[in-house]
Structure 1
Amino acid sequence: MKPLLRAEQAVLGAVLLDPGQLAALSWLAPAHFYRPVHRALFAAMRKLHAEGHPTLTDAGEVPIEWVTGSVAEASVNVRGLSASYAHTLIAACPRPGHAPVYGRMVLEGAIHRTVTQHAVRLHQVARADSLQGEVDGALHQAAVLADVLASLAHRWGTEPRPLAPAQSRTEAAVPPPAATEKALQDEQILLSVLVNQPAAMNEVVLWLRPGDFAEPGHGQLYRCLGALHHRGEPIDELTVLWEAQRRGLLADGVLTDVQVRGICEGCGVGSAEFLGEQIMRSSLTRTAATSAGAIRALAEDEALAPGRLISHALHALGPLDEVKARWKNATAEPSATTIPASADPPPPARIDAALARSQLRRPTRPDPATQTTHARPAGRAPTRSHS
């Protein structure tokens, strides 16, 4: 028998032997027990104790009615419970005075089980949203998981603070789910639009990141476009190919010149903002599924203490929180009170540096027609004062 089930039996046996232990187990709930029969029996004992059931005789001993009454009350909600099993629970308790310690073992198992259940639910909802092109379900379930983690931290007695797990616990991280064919097509079309309509970079550059692309090569190509846009250099097929080569993407095999040319020579027609939002949807659901898989792997590690589990799970939700924040910025309605204003132009030195990297600069000659001279008239000597 697993230690967790033995701990559940020990808690119940301790309360059957000493009902006064319920006062020290006020933080333990019936739902924290794994077996239904254990949940029903603990709930029955709490109910009888709250209703003033006699738990001690005049001689200071626990009456047999306490045991039989608890079994009878629990049998109303669950089948298969008998008086003989109550004696099994009593025999499984090493020491009734250690009931709080046994209870924390039960709570620890409940925390692992609860985190696993919510992580599985988040993964399922994220996968369903990915197929339907939605994000509301994943966002809601992620918020529920975050609230559950905060509640579990409070019950366990720790602060809900994100903490990165050790390297050994991240090696078995669940890989991200494969992207759909539609998501890959949207990425290619968006990149083609950005190459053929460089001004469209302004529509997505503030909230779309290379990591949002499911295909790593597409993300690196978007990074090249962002670098050219940031430096103020022209964007076309050749400049993009050159930037990819300078970053070593062609040598490393991340991209090929055929792939780059194929994307750049695409139709280049469409709304960059709409396509960017589609990519963000896919990124959000994919990140949610990845975070859920990582949290589930952590929760299934029985050697991980509950406080560490909660902190590591909150850390695993960090990438999803970051994508969610950018998603809200991308889909936020413009404020009616906000007056659009043009961004401040970059410094002249930065403009000159960017232009110097993209084209040759010829020295300019002064125009004789517009040049202003300040020479003194010939034949007139300067005057000096000797006073």
Structure 2
Amino acid sequence: MMLKPPGREPDFDPNATPPDPPIHYAEQALLSALLLEPHRREAIGPLGPEHFSRPLHGAVFAAIVALTPPAPAIHAREPVWLASILSHAGPTTPALTPSYLHTLIACTSMPEHAAEYAGMIRADHARRSVRVHAELLIQAACDPTLPDPAAVALARADTLTALIDNLSSRFSPHPGSLPRTPSAGSPGRDTDEETTSEEQVLLSTVTARPGSLPTMRWLQAEDFAVPVHRRLFRCLTSLAHRGAPVDQVTVLWEAQRQGIFTEAITARDVLEMLATPAGSAHHWGEQVLRRSLLHSAHTAGLRIQAYAEDRTNTPHQLITGSRRALAELTAVRVRWHRATSPTPATPPRSRAPATARTGPRTPGTVPATARASR
């Protein structure tokens, strides 16, 4: 069953492209089954050209679903089906040649397993889709040139969450739903000069004006990038929680009680950290929390990326691991929303209509309002 070669040769040999096992062979097996027995396409479930890892395979599949197969008798004796597919996909897909269609047909496959091959393709497409969106989340969390990195990162996290929810409706759960991938861990925090300076200003401002602490319950010690700053913030919150006075000296005493002082961190060092109050504590707290939010987004993206790159994970394991990683980001996001959402104005209290004050009535008299209503 030979086809007339096209007028031009492809720029490259598709067989020379390193395959991506095992999905490469699953795609070949499915296309082989549909080329040999076109009626199998009715039983493979929802599948589109975009699900294929190679554009060449997607183009062949697009032609298969777009064209009407020939009658079985004609298909058995003439290469009408292959010629139609080549004519449909060839003009836009230079890599598609008659020889590659024959290569697909020659692939060892069982046409009756077409539905299983299609399931493999859907599963690998889900893995690739999650990986792409995880990479976009990482990019947003690490790009300082964005006008509002936090808003972009949260928008991409929403898109990734929607994808995970959509995939969960397509792939059924099974025992052993946790990913087998070792945790990617948390990336190191950025402790550059700007970050260190803003955290120190926040600690100084809160120490000088401790009344701001009750209004900043959305900020936690873990949000600080510099370890000693986290411990000093715990000192501040501990004093405030006990109702103890807060100033440089009481913070210094609490720092001693919590074992902060070492050869590298002395009492004088701590006093210097607390000596530069400026501006609004709420403003500096938002800066610290924003960095913590981006760090959480970066961490979630790296973990989901690791799950998606591990081919041993099933779609359900990928879904479960991704949801856990996004849940940790959501916890920080809730606090970010509390910090940045404007406080709703308190509606004015409704007052009861004023009642005319009248002096004591003498027996037998009737109030003026009652006389007017008669």
Q: Same fold (TM over 0.5)?
A: yes
Q: Which runs of 5+ in 2 are unaligned?
A: 1-18, 350-374
Task: Read off the aligned partner of 2:45 and give its amino acid letter.
Answer: S
Q: Secondary structure at the match of 1:120?
A: helix
Match of 2:301 among 292, 299, 319: 292
**What are the superposed Cα offsets for residues 140-183 of structure 1, whole Å, 9 maximum, x if unpaired?**
11111111111222232449xxx7656x622x425245244322
Match for residue 100 of structure 2?
85
Match of 1:231 among 242, 250, 262: 242
Tell me, in whole angstroms, the C-alpha distance in 2 between the residues paired with 1:244 and 1:198.
16
Q: Is the 8 A contact 1:249 1:255 kept in 2?
A: yes
Distance 1:126 1:5, change over 3 A: same
1:135 equivalenced with 2:144 (yes/no):
no
**What are the superposed Cα offsets for residues 305-354 of structure 1, whole Å, 9 maximum, x if unpaired?**
111011101111112111111111111122234579xxxxxxxxxxxxxx
1:270 equivalenced with 2:282 (yes/no):
no
Match for residue 366 of structure 2?
none
Match for residue 257 of structure 1?
267
Match for residue 314 of structure 2?
305
Aligned pairs (5 A) from 1:359-374: none
Match of 1:328 among 323, 337, 345: 337
**What are the superposed Cα offsets for residues 271-292 of structure 1, whole Å, 9 maximum, x if unpaired?**
0111111111111112111111
Task: Read off the aligned partner of 1:262 and give its amino acid letter.
Answer: E
Q: Is the 8 A contact 2:38 2:69 kept in 1?
A: no
Match for residue 283 of structure 1?
292
Task: Read off the aligned partner of 1:291 and give its amino acid letter.
Answer: A
Q: Is the 8 A contact 1:130 1:282 kept in 2?
A: no
How much identity, in percent, do the aligned residues show?
A: 37
Tell me, in whole angstroms, the C-alpha distance in 2 between the residues paired with 1:316 and 1:23.
38
Match for residue 360 of structure 1?
none
Tell me, in whole angstroms, the C-alpha distance in 1 between the residues paired with 2:46 and 2:77.
23
Tell me, in whole angstroms, the C-alpha distance in 1 between the residues paired with 2:260 and 2:77.
77
Q: Is the 8 A contact 2:27 2:121 kept in 1?
A: yes
Tell me, in whole angstroms, the C-alpha distance in 2 between the residues paired with 1:246 and 1:216.
17
Distance 1:311 1:96, change over 3 A: same
Instruction: Select between 240-249 and 288-297 the one with higher mean Cα deviation.
Output: 240-249
Match of 1:148 among 163, 174, 190: 163
Tell me, in whole angstroms, the C-alpha distance in 2 between the residues paired with 1:63 and 1:338.
81
Tell me, in whole angstroms, the C-alpha distance in 2 between the residues paired with 1:120 and 1:335.
37
**What are the superposed Cα offsets for residues 180-228 of structure 1, whole Å, 9 maximum, x if unpaired?**
4322211110001111111121231x21111111112211211111111
Tell me, in whole angstroms, the C-alpha distance in 2 between the residues paired with 1:151 and 1:62.
43
Tell me, in whole angstroms, the C-alpha distance in 2 between the residues paired with 1:287 and 1:310.
19
Instruction: Select between 270-279 and 84-93 the one with higher mean Cα deviation.
Output: 84-93
Instruction: Select between 217-226 and 242-251 the one with higher mean Cα deviation.
Output: 242-251
Deviation at 1:56, TM superposition (A): 3.1
Tell me, in whole angstroms, the C-alpha distance in 1 between the residues paired with 2:194 and 2:283.
14
Q: Is the 8 A contact 2:179 2:313 kept in 1?
A: no
1:29 equivalenced with 2:32 (yes/no):
no
Deviation at 1:268, TM superposition (A): 1.4
Q: Is the 8 A contact 2:164 2:323 kept in 1?
A: yes
TM-score for both structures, normalised by structure 2? 0.81
RMSD: 2.4
Deviation at 1:129, TM superposition (A): 4.6
Tell me, in whole angstroms, the C-alpha distance in 1 between the residues paired with 2:50 and 2:264.
51
1:175 equivalenced with 2:175 (yes/no):
no
Q: Which runs of 5+ in 1 are unaligned?
A: 341-387
Tell me, in whole angstroms, the C-alpha distance in 2 between the residues paired with 1:254 and 1:44.
70
Tell me, in whole angstroms, the C-alpha distance in 2 between the residues paired with 1:132 and 1:223.
32
Q: Is the 8 A contact 2:45 2:115 kept in 1?
A: no
Q: Paired residues, what number? A: 328
**What are the superposed Cα offsets for residues 55-79 of structure 1, whole Å, 9 maximum, x if unpaired?**
3334784852112211221223321
Match for residue 82 of structure 2?
67
1:219 equivalenced with 2:238 (yes/no):
no
Tell me, in whole angstroms, the C-alpha distance in 2 between the residues paired with 1:68 and 1:255.
78
Q: Is the 8 A contact 1:14 1:93 kept in 2?
A: no
Match of 1:20 among 15, 19, 39: 39
Tell me, in whole angstroms, the C-alpha distance in 1 between the residues paired with 2:315 and 2:253.
51
Task: Read off the aligned partner of 1:122 and give its amino acid letter.
Answer: L
Q: Secondary structure at the match of 1:143?
A: helix
**What are the superposed Cα offsets for residues 336-377 of structure 1, whole Å, 9 maximum, x if unpaired?**
34579xxxxxxxxxxxxxxxxxxxxxxxxxxxxxxxxxxxxx
Task: Read off the aligned partner of 1:238 and give its amino acid letter.
Answer: V
Q: Secondary structure at the match of 1:155?
A: coil
Match of 2:214 among 187, 202, 223: 202
Tell me, in whole angstroms, the C-alpha distance in 1 between the residues paired with 2:41 and 2:264.
63
